[in-house]
Amino acid sequence: MTHYYDYSRNRPLVLWIAALASHKSPLEVIEIAKALPAMDFVMIGSPWDASLLEQLMKERASNVHYLGPVSDRKKKELIRRSSVGITTSKYEGFGWTPFEFLTAGKPVLAYPLNVFREIYGDALIYANDINAFIRKLTELRRKGFESRVDSSELGRLRRRWNLDRAVSRIVKVLHIESVVILTRDWPSNSNMILGCDLINWKLWKRISDLGVPLQIFANGTRYARRFHLSSRTTTVSQRLTSLKRIRNTMNKTSQKTWDSELSAIKGKHKVTAMLLDLTLRVFEPFCYLLTYVKKRERPPSNNIIASEVSTAVAGLIIKLIFGSRLFCLVHDTDFYDRGLREASIPTRVYYMIFVNCLRHADRIIAVSSETKTNLSRFCPDTSKIIVLWEPE
């Protein structure tokens, strides 16, 4: 892994931004790069799946540079200096990265996902397969990497996908006067960056800026500090630290996902790891619950927003005990499409519980119409599903 890119190479820079996960198809970048040796391909993002990272570093061509997770400042610099952005993702609930490239005046290549069509229309350059990526990158280089998006289109995108507008609408639609937010965060020294968490904390900050009283319960401090919400945030799940440390020592690297770690563990240790994973997943929602009971403000808010699996489980328990209204924020349905089929047994059980939590939530906030459509497969009452950005 390299940690910097030498801009003095003075070659076309193709930038890929995503966590290393199977549905992001990072290994396809290697195939594209091998066919275009005159271009440099820079990849940034968290090493979410260590097995993919290992394969990427083993197979990468000399013109592929994986920098790992980088700061926002470094990411913006890379986008500014890039010639073109690409995403090889096969599945997205929203897909914010193309927006970052477009607003910087860069062309973007992507697979023609329904959600990209919904959000960006013809602003992206679509490719159906690896050969199409190669062909269109070659064409873009010949044309000097000109962006097809003009200033009026950029203005429309900025107005359409505006976080302040989305938050104002949600607060009004849900009649929120105060709210308790159960959310995921990361330790301050973590190198993990997930787009959904970044967007979530931007939303929490916007809610706070609207003057809505809010109390946040999170299992980390990184984003709470970054968005100046520490005074409103209570840290939970401290009791899990020792169990997580034990679980991580069962494999050489702690960067692997639980499921990829399980595939590398043999015999009785695999059974132990599965039981420990299940314990961690079950215990975490109860940590949120216990912290909520102990730390909730008086009078407590009757509105709960939960943003991922363990917090949704905790939110449902709070709803059943205290009669609160539960709103779940959902970015995608990958847990349903792949998680329930391909994950380990503890993860599949966990996702099944999450699906039932969504069914019993008062309202579900989907980040796109595509996500709403996918949610309707297991939440047939679509009247309770609202889209964060109302379709025009």
- DSSP letters spanning 327-376: EEEES--HIIIIIHHHS-HHHHHHHHHHHHHHHHSSEEEESSHHHHHHHT
What pLDDT, on the 0 to 100 scale, is given for residue 316?
A: 94
25-39 burial string, b = 16+ CB within 10 Å, else e? bbebbbbbbbbbeeb
- In this predicted model, what pLDDT tens digit does every residue of 331-345 receive, in sequence order? 988 888 776 777 777
**pLDDT recorded at residue 342:** 72
- Residue 268: predicted pLDDT: 52
Looking at residue 266, its pLDDT comes to 44
In sequence order, the 6+-apart residues with CB closer than 8 A to the CB of 140 are: 83, 84, 107, 109, 125, 146
HSE on the CB side for 331, CA within 13 Å? 19
Cβ pair 164, 208 in contact under 8 A? no
Is it true that the peptide bond before 12 is cis, omega within 30 degrees of 0?
A: no
| pLDDT reported for residue 35 | 96
Q: What is the token pair recorded at 321?
A: 């005990």
**CB neighbour list of residue 306: distance below 8 Å, 6 or more residues apart:** 182, 183, 312, 314, 315, 326, 327, 328, 329, 357, 361
The pLDDT value recorded for residue 335 is 80
pLDDT tens, the chain, 392 aa long = 666 777 777 899 999 999 888 889 999 999 999 999 999 999 999 887 778 888 999 998 899 999 998 888 899 999 999 999 999 999 898 888 999 999 999 999 999 999 999 999 899 999 999 999 999 999 999 999 998 888 888 888 888 888 898 999 999 999 999 999 999 998 887 777 788 898 999 999 999 999 999 999 998 899 999 999 999 999 987 666 556 666 556 554 434 454 544 444 444 566 666 677 667 777 888 889 999 998 888 778 899 999 988 899 999 999 999 999 999 999 988 888 776 777 777 677 878 888 889 999 999 999 999 999 999 988 888 999 999 887 65
Delineate the domains of the chain, giving CATH numbers in brackets. 7-159 (3.40.50.2000), 162-387 (3.40.50.2000)
pLDDT score of 309: 86
